Homo-oligomer: A and B are copies of this chain.
Amino acid sequence: MLITQMTSEECREILAKTGFGHLGCSHKNEPYVVPMHFAYEADYLYGFSTFGRKIEWMRANPIVCVEVDEVTGHSSWASVIINGRYQELPNTSQHSSERLHAFSLLEKRPLWWQTAQAAKEPRTKQPFPPIFYRIHIDAMTGHRAARDDDPAEYSKGFYR
């Protein structure tokens, strides 16, 4: 397996193509990881959720990490790691344009609302207040792996 570093453009292609990753947040130095559907544009990942531990923790500590991967085989994958910052887009006049922009990007993704909404369905029959947010990309690194011709070479001297 040969691993190479991806360019910023290649990382952004993965973000635009997949729209799915794993979001990590932290509270009192305890990490929490959840799957995240997102819409990517420029320096932001736009997301949508109902209120829960993830939102509570990101409000308290906006420093987050998002890992996005595209796995096509054990020896063929790409992985992008983002260090970012949570920004909520509340339902106020000040944030209405960003909120509508987030909505317009997210609604292009099929069934994007289902997961967040369904999670609340068993608990209440009332419409829930949707929380829109975005993750500002502060830094991003990406690696891609491809199978090489002689993988056995790489096991030499492995378990000593």
A residues sitting closer than 8 Å to B (CB atoms) are 1-4, 22-35, 61, 63-67, 69, 74-75, 79, 81, 83, 103, 110-111, 113-115, 117-119, 121-122, 127, 130, 143, 145, 151, 154-160
Q: Given contacts A74-B111, A74-B114, A111-B75, is CB(A31)–CB(B35) below 8 Å?
A: no
Q: Are B118 and A154 within 8 A (Cβ)?
A: yes
CB distance from A160 to the nearest CB of B (A): 6
Q: Are B33 and A26 within 8 A (Cβ)?
A: no
CB distance from A24 to the nearest CB of B (A): 4
A46 to B54, CA, bound (A): 26
Q: Please name all residues of chain B whose beta carbon is closer than 8 Å to the beta carbon of A118 when the two chains form the complex.
A: 1-3, 145, 154
Copies per assembly: 2
Q: CB within 8 A of A69: which of B29, B35, B83, B160?
A: B35
Q: Please name all residues of chain B whose beta carbon is closer than 8 Å to the beta carbon of A32 when the two chains form the complex.
A: 24, 31, 65, 81
Closest B residue, CB atoms, query A79: B35
CB distance from A92 to the nearest CB of B (A): 15
Q: Are B113 and A34 within 8 A (Cβ)?
A: no
Q: Considering the complex of A and B, which 6 residue pairs feature the smallest CB-CB distances, nearest first?
A: A127-B157, A24-B31, A24-B33, A1-B118, A24-B24, A26-B31
